[in-house]
Chains A and B, each alone.
Chain A
Amino acid sequence: METVTAVIDGCKVEVAKGTTILDAAKTVGIKIPTLCYHPDQSIKANCRICVVEVEGVQLLQAACATAVGKDMVIKTNTMAVREARKTVLELILAHHPQDCLQCIRNQNCELQTLAHEYNVRENRFEHIDENLLLDLTSPGVHRDPNKCIKCGRCIEVCERVQTAAVYSKYNRGFKVGVAPVLNLGLGEVACINCGQCVHACPVGAIYENDQHEQVWDAICDPKKHVVCQMAPAIRVALAEEFGLNAGELEMGKIVAALRQIGFDKVFHTNFTADLTIIEEGNELLHRINNGGKLPMITSCSPGWIKYCEHFYPDFLDNLSTCKSPQQMFGALVKTYYAEKASIDPADIYSVSFMPCTAKKFECIRPEMNSSGYQDVDVVLTTRELARMIREAGIDIVNIAPEDFDAPMGMYTGAAVIFGATGGVMEAALRTVYEVVTGKTLQDINFTAVRGMEGIKEATVDLDGLEVKVAVAHTTGNARKLLDAIRAGEKFYHFIEVMACPGGCIGGGGQPYGTTNEIRQKRIDAIYDEDAGLPIRKSHENPAITQLYEEFLKEPLGHKSHELLHTHYTKRSLYPFSKEEK
């Protein structure tokens, strides 16, 4: 490896050629402030907060964009640098609302942190408020354009990672803004509600539609029987909200906290994740054996579904007709559970905790009312759950663990790995293999479909039936896969697509500022949890067997079709009519 040596603030550094000043400074313990920089993105160098002095160069240099040169003498703490940093900060703050206390990103905002670290006590520039309208048009993601610092990070993630390309800049100079085309709302364009722009945003300009007050209202309403479900990706990330590492929070403590909050029943979406595997596995075999449309593509990720509806409507028949686990759960709570518990479904309030902002959209899709009611009443993200726990004053780290309620709290390791990219595929393979071959899997770990690689492929031998599978996470990777299939370059039987990087553990509802490094830690925690569970195959879940015996009768049967399967809608690109929303 070719290296260069340089001096930063008097410290000698030796780094690989091409290393930026920003990264080189970290190696000697010097933190240079950044705002437009994001570890998973391209270098933009537009905020200019990171400028430093390089001896012999007249202009200050952006540390995020400048490679360390041979024998460079770099200074990060001179009068000129301090003046520039402070001026940039003051300029941004003077053109930014001053309501940190009420802001959803309070104590979790890159701008606020810098204002604190650089001791901005007064601002030399007069405060200017533009009073731009909030964008509340989307059920998943809201925007406060007044808070935008024009870093361009949301533009990049939406365009390059998700290839939905919702955002662009408008105007010039002081009046520059970032918004969907024609300044329409997110709910009026081909936004898939994935919330990845929420993670990209350094400030409180993009955030979830916070609905947790609605849940308090329901809990406090004595007429309501309030039940909740929780996705597998919640546990690993909720820990981070309380100062722990990914996965460090025990499941039982979250259950206890939810009871403390006031839920009448605490269930787990994993229950219907196992159910999804049974229904979807059977659907796949049915398609393969009956000349059905292939590849079959998973349908658990509502961001992906909306993406397919907007951008690849010719693939709608490839989507599995299975509802997502959340919606299967919703349909069963107000039918199966209501019946079993002798509760009028009209009195049930069904709450879903998800790592996902797109689920907020999914639960209000007009077709999601197979129980005769809106199947899931409200979806809250991991962040909203953390807010409720804090508001309730619960010390979740030290609370005594409790168990889920029966029967919809019973699950297997196969359901847990739904939370990571490749997990649904692996869970399906565990079951499909055993159902088709009648043999027991020697090694149930399908490692080929695990990990952060954008597109993963594998071929599985089911006693002579070669099943070709692929896994894509991010809709940008899904696009690549579908383009290759369209062009006839690739053939698969079964594809898993998750809209978010890393799968649900990287969802738009997870703790703010999720990066790929954090995603990897959550993935590790997910597989650890799977490995530690006694049952790791969906078809071995006794509660699922019971559900079929008592209620559904058979996979893909009449009741299943009524409650667990769905259909999709072709959507135009933009701007689209009110009915399509």
Chain B
Amino acid sequence: MSLAKEQRIVLNNYDKINPASIDEYIAQGGYQALKKALTMSSAAIIDELKASGLRGRGGAGFPTWLKWSFTAPIEADQKYIVCNADEGEPGTYKDRLIMDKDPYRLIEALTIAGYTLGATKGYIYVRGEYPQSQQSLNTAITGTKAAGMMGKNILGSGFDFDLEVFSGAFAFVCGEETAIIESIEGKRGEPRIRPPYPGTVGLWGKPTVINNVETLANIPAILNNGGKWFASIGAVKYPGTKIMTLSGDVVNKTFVEVPTDTTLYDIIYGFGGGVTGGDFLAVQVGGNSGGVLPESLLNTPIDFDSMMAAGGSLGTGAVFVINDKRDLLDVVKNMAHFFTEESCGKCTPCREGCQRLYDFMVKVCDGKATVKDLKIANGLARVMNKSALCGLGQAAPTPVQTAIKFFGNKFEEKLLQNS
């Protein structure tokens, strides 16, 4: 067994420092990147990000430099940077690790983002269920202010920046970037239609960049070590590392930060120590919106594009292992149930479709579904993929669709009983 190695960039300070202490963060090289950034032009920082190849860790894999390059040049009386820390995908806690164990890293990154984008105000939208992370961040914000690295004229640069922690609204959909904006504005957390994109018309109608915690946490290291260094790590098109969180029927229910060319196999059998309670049956990667994948795909590297090509998704990097003693259909039914509760209900395909897909899974599990039902479910899933308003509804059918695709025999067994 080839054992891949962990490589810690965003978790570099994990359990090495007292998270509440800015001095310990600085002793580890903290705030060097901000100091450097303040001597650079916005365009130069974006160039460095471009060279790094950093892409979003929030699930959509969008190139970070490109997103920033739309907003940075816009002249506006106010712009915002929003950190997406809603972390609502089941089995995912990577962002929490960063916020709880190394909050100053995130704050430094957000300050760099603010400087690069010309945004003087930032929000960290933290999942409502994470009060300890909110506290950790608030402590760090106070610490940063006390050290003169937040507020007016940071380090004599003339740049003003302020950050506010905003508690999430206890809804999965509130992690969708435009729903965050609605939520911060005090409205019901529903996605907005795009265009206009938040980069031009975002929070309170102002240009706004939204990035995931893990994405941002990479930025100080990129500025310190150079984009080229980052680009040399992991997969070519989705370089760097990724935090993976392991759960389900796996020996070590743990987390790892690995280069993005690490395979699923290495993660489950190497770091995870293999399957418990039975033999491997399936793995769902990326959270509840991710695909349910069979053993034959375990050699897939975890990077965004390879996972996509395999019919799954990297998503948030959650790895949920399912052994062969489990009733896969029942597990998939529960996945489908999640979306009936979490759809915001704004658009028809998702509001109605999530319920219908769940009803279908119930029917399958009860041995009452017919071949015709299966066909209807497939058609419905296709329509949801293509017509739902936001990523939630578009991805909601994925567990059911991939289960049908990769474990069709399990469905057929159940359908047969009925015919």
Contact = CB atoms under 8 A, between A and B. Distances in A.
Interface of A: 43-49, 51, 58-60, 62, 65, 67, 80, 83-84, 87-88, 91-92, 94-95, 124-126, 149-150, 168-169, 171-176
B342 A60 contact: no
Given A173-B342, A173-B343, A88 B351 contact: no
A403 to B, nearest CB: 53
B347 A87 contact: no
B418 to A, nearest CB: 16
B366 to A, nearest CB: 14
Given A48-B388, A125-B376, A174-B354, 20 more contacts: A46-B346, A48-B349, A48-B387, A49-B348, A59-B387, A60-B386, A60-B387, A83-B379, A84-B383, A87-B353, A87-B379, A88-B348, A91-B380, A94-B352, A125-B356, A150-B348, A150-B351, A168-B188, A171-B345, A172-B345
25 contacts: A46-B347, A46-B348, A46-B389, A48-B347, A48-B348, A48-B389, A59-B386, A62-B389, A83-B383, A87-B379, A87-B387, A88-B348, A88-B349, A92-B348, A95-B352, A124-B379, A125-B356, A171-B345, A172-B173, A173-B339, A173-B340, A173-B342, A173-B345, A175-B345, A176-B351
B404 to A, nearest CB: 17
Contacts of A168: 188
B135 to A, nearest CB: 28
A43 to B, nearest CB: 7
B375 to A, nearest CB: 9
B382 interface: yes
B354 to A, nearest CB: 6
B344 interface: yes
Given A47-B347, A48-B347, A48-B349, A80 B193 contact: no
Contacts of A84: 349, 383, 386-387
A45 B380 contact: no
Given A47-B347, A60-B387, A92-B348, A87 B380 contact: yes
B171 interface: yes
Contacts of B376: 124-125
Contacts of A88: 348-349, 383, 387
B342 A172 contact: yes
A150 B352 CA distance: 11
A125 B383 CA distance: 14
A95 B251 CA distance: 45
Contacts of A47: 347-348
A150 B348 CA distance: 9
A156 to B, nearest CB: 13
A472 to B, nearest CB: 27
A125 B188 CA distance: 29
B386 A51 contact: yes
Nearest to A174: B355
Given A47-B347, A88-B387, A59 B193 contact: no
B394 interface: yes
A59 B387 CA distance: 7
Contact of B352 (A44, A58, A91, A172): A91
Contacts of A45: 193, 347, 389
Interface of B: 171, 173, 188, 193, 195, 339-349, 351-356, 359, 376, 379-380, 382-383, 386-389, 394
Interface residue SS majority, chain B: helix
Contact of A174 (B351, B379, B380, B383): B351
A155 to B, nearest CB: 10
A91 B195 CA distance: 26
B188 to A, nearest CB: 6
A95 B340 CA distance: 15
Contacts of B355: 173-174
Tell me which of B342, B344, B345, B376 has the highest count of chain A C-beta atoms within 10 A of its own C-beta: B345
A91 B345 contact: no
Nearest to A45: B193
A357 B340 CA distance: 38
Contact of B343 (A67, A94, A95, A172): A172
Contacts of A174: 340, 343, 345, 351-352, 354-355
A87 B386 CA distance: 12
Contacts of B173: 172
Residue among B342, B352, B386 facing the most chain A CB atoms (10 A cut-off): B352
A537 B132 CA distance: 74
B189 to A, nearest CB: 9
Given A83-B382, A91-B353, A51 B387 contact: yes
Nearest to B172: A172
B341 A91 contact: no
Contacts of A83: 379, 382-383
Contacts of B379: 83, 87, 124
Most chain A C-beta atoms within 10 Å of own C-beta, residue among B347, B382, B394:
B347
Contacts of B383: 83-84, 87-88
B341 A172 contact: yes
Contact of B386 (A80, A124, A126, A176): A80
Nearest to B393: A48
A38 to B, nearest CB: 15
A5 B62 CA distance: 30
A172 B340 CA distance: 8
A94 B386 CA distance: 21
Given A59-B386, A59-B394, A87 B351 contact: no
Contacts of B346: 46, 150, 176
Contacts of B386: 51, 58-60, 80, 84
Most-contacted residue by chain B among A92, A95, A171, A172 (CB, 10 A)? A172
Contacts of A58: 386
A83 B119 CA distance: 44
Contacts of B341: 172-173
Contacts of B359: 126
Nearest to B372: A124
Contacts of B171: 172
What are the 6 tightest A-B residue pairs by CB atom distance, in nearest-first order?
A: A176-B345, A91-B352, A174-B355, A173-B343, A87-B383, A45-B193
The residue among A46, A95, A176 with the most chain B CB atoms within 10 A of its own CB is A46
Contacts of A67: 195
Contacts of A125: 352, 356, 376
B283 to A, nearest CB: 26
A60 B348 CA distance: 14
A129 to B, nearest CB: 14
B208 to A, nearest CB: 20
Contacts of B352: 91-92, 94-95, 125, 174
A175 B351 CA distance: 8
Of the candidates A92, A150, A171, the one having the most CB atoms from chain B within 10 angstroms of its own CB is A150
B128 to A, nearest CB: 15
B344 A173 contact: yes
B337 to A, nearest CB: 11
Most chain B CB within 10 A, of A43, A88, A91, A176, is at A91
A219 B376 CA distance: 55
A42 B376 CA distance: 34
B387 A172 contact: no
Contacts of A176: 344-346, 351
Nearest to A149: B348
Nearest to A91: B352
A201 B188 CA distance: 21
Contacts of B343: 172-174
A271 B383 CA distance: 59
A11 B195 CA distance: 25
A187 to B, nearest CB: 25
B11 to A, nearest CB: 34
A125 B173 CA distance: 25
A207 to B, nearest CB: 22
B156 to A, nearest CB: 44
A82 to B, nearest CB: 11
Q: Select the residue from B171, B344, B345, B387 with max chain A CB neighbours within 10 A.
A: B387
Contact of B348 (A91, A169, A171, A172): A91
